[in-house]
């Protein structure tokens, strides 16, 4: 399940998390569904948090023949 | 008569050729007005594709042709407009082949702070009336921008501030830098090109147009009409962060959102990663509580059911019925017994009575019965001696045949 989910973007994951919370709050969701949804949301939130924690800012200079820069490169220019 | 031909005085008099005169004028004018300042109002401003500017400078009483060459006009921080009062520095030049003179401007400045302000207000009013600042054109900002385009100088403090805010608040985004000059010669064209370049990339969610603080002259590129129009044209939402909080530029009015500074622009553009983390965690704990309370509700419901009277004593009803059945059975069997008893008594009595009338008793005592044609002959007159007679005794029968 985790592998399957990892294709979708961070924003989509966040959106899905919100959806799940709404579904869980709805009276119409059965217990079994709720438990599945809850498991999914735990998985998603782990993924989201790990994305957030591992995130490193990427900077690309368009006019520099698409050369990728890092923060260090820019700071060295000072 | 000779005096008519006296040319003594005239021999001193010089006869100029046109070229000589023009050269003299050129010499005098260019010497005299070699380095002067000239103020007036611009009219008939024409930037040529060669890069040179041709225009007139005028006041109430006079007008003078002016020229400003390509290499020099690039240092003018604003695009001159007709009606703008300026101060030029330069010299008078005379162009002999056409016999005219013009002012060759070396530099151009607005005639005063008010002049720039007036130009600013004129453009602001014009664009406002065209609807370029209308709310309906403001594009919504993406809540989670994935790629953010940056239009700013590559070695400005603004860029460093922006990057530091992005890495603190939302490091999962990607910054796409389209560097440009933000002041002076070519900056207007550079800013426009950068906005165009970013718009060619379809996956950019947001553009930040930024420049650190500076004087009104430093920020002037952001007050140029063509920059404003390019911002308006952009398909990608643009946040401006230009100068300090008090600085407002035309670009700010056209942009989808104006931030007071470059850092503030990035702050507005990005959600706070810590906040997202907290939201996710609190969301999860909320979901967990929902599941828990759901389970608790189900458990309670189950408990109610299992504690119900019926559930606890499932045989009670059965037993009740059994009891009912038993008691009715008892009643009915009692009745039956009674009936049987009565019937029995009655039978016994009948039996006794019957016994009294039993023929065998009579036979046993010695009486006999006479039968003819299997009928008892009860009276003498019925006896037919001509027929066979059967006599029945207690211990047997005999038949007497008279034939």
Q: What is the pLDDT of residue B3?
A: 53
A56 touching chain B per CB within 8 A: yes
**Could B286 and A58 be called an inter-chain contact, meaning their C-beta atoms sit closer than 8 Å?**
no
Tally the domains of chain A: 1
A13 touching chain B per CB within 8 A: no
With tokens 């990892």, the residue in question is A6
Kindly report the average pLDDT of chain B as a whole number: 89
Q: What is the pLDDT of residue B239?
A: 97
A20 touching chain B per CB within 8 A: yes
pLDDT per residue as tens digits for the range A32-77: 888 888 899 889 888 888 888 888 888 888 876 544 555 555 555 4
pLDDT per residue as tens digits for the range B183-201: 887 899 999 999 999 999 8
| Long-range pairs, A17-21, Cβ under 8 A, ≥24 | A17/A41, A17/A44, A17/A45, A17/A48, A17/B280, A17/B283, A18/B283, A20/A44, A20/B287, A21/B283, A21/B286, A21/B287
**Could A59 and B155 be called an inter-chain contact, meaning their C-beta atoms sit closer than 8 Å?**
no
pTM given for the model: 0.66
Q: What is the pLDDT of residue A3?
A: 43
Six-digit token string for B388: 């066979």
- Which residues, 6+ apart, have CB-to-CB distance to B29 below 8 Å? B92, B94, B101
Query: A78 falls in which pLDDT band (50, 70, 90)?
Result: very low
ipTM of the complex: 0.70
For an interface test with A, the pick among B148, B207, B291 (most A C-beta atoms closer than 10 Å) comes out as B291
The strand pairing partners of B105, in sequence order, are: B90
Q: Which domain holds residue A70?
A: 2-76
Distance CA B50, CA B71 (A): 11
A45 touching chain B per CB within 8 A: yes
């Amino acid at each position: 399940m985790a592998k399957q989910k990892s294709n979708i973007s961070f924003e989509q994951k966040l959106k899905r998390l919100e959806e799940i919370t709404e579904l869980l709050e709805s009276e119409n969701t059965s217990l079994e569904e709720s438990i599945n949804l809850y498991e999914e949301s735990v998985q998603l939130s782990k993924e989201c948090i790990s994305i957030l924690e591992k995130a490193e800012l990427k900077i690309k200079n368009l006019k520099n023949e698409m050369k990728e820069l890092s923060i260090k490169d820019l700071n060295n220019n000072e | 008569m000779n005096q008519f031909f006296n040319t003594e005085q005239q021999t001193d008099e010089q006869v100029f050729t046109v070229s000589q005169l023009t050269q003299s004028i050129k010499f005098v004018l260019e010497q005299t007005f070699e380095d002067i300042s000239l103020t007036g109002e611009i009219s008939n401003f024409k930037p040529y594709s060669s890069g040179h500017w041709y225009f007139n400078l005028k006041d109430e009483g006079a007008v003078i042709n002016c020229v400003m060459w390509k290499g020099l006009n690039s240092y003018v921080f604003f695009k001159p407009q007709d009606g703008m009062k300026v101060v030029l520095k330069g010299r008078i030049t005379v162009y002999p082949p056409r016999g005219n003179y013009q002012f060759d401007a070396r530099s151009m400045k607005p005639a005063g702070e008010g002049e720039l302000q007036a130009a600013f207000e004129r453009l602001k009013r014009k664009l406002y009336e065209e609807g370029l600042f209308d709310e309906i054109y403001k594009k919504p900002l993406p809540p989670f921008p994935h790629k953010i385009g940056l239009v700013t100088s590559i070695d400005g403090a603004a860029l460093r501030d922006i990057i530091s805010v992005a890495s603190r608040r939302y490091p999962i985004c990607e910054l796409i830098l389209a560097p440009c000059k933000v002041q002076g010669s070519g900056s207007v064209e550079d800013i426009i090109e950068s906005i165009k370049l970013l718009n060619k990339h379809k996956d950019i969610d947001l553009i930040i147009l930024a420049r650190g603080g500076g004087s009104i002259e430093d920020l002037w590129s952001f007050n140029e009409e063509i920059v404003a129009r390019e911002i308006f044209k952009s398909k990608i939402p643009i946040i401006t962060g230009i100068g300090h909080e008090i600085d407002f530029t035309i670009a700010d009015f056209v942009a989808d959102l104006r931030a007071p500074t470059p850092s503030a622009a990035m702050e507005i553009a990005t959600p706070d990663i810590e906040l997202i983390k907290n939201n996710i965690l609190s969301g999860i704990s909320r979901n967990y509580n929902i599941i828990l309370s759901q389970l608790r509700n189900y458990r309670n419901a189950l408990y109610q059911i299992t504690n119900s009277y019926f559930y606890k004593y499932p045989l009670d009803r059965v037993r009740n019925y059994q009891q009912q059945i038993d008691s009715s059975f008892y009643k009915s069997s009692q009745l039956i017994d009674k009936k049987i008893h009565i019937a029995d008594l009655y039978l016994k009595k009948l039996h006794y009575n019957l016994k009294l009338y039993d023929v065998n008793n009579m036979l046993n005592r010695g009486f006999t019965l006479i039968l003819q044609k299997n009928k008892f002959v009860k009276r003498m007159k019925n006896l037919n001696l001509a027929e066979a007679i059967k006599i029945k005794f207690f211990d047997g029968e005999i038949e007497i045949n008279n034939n």
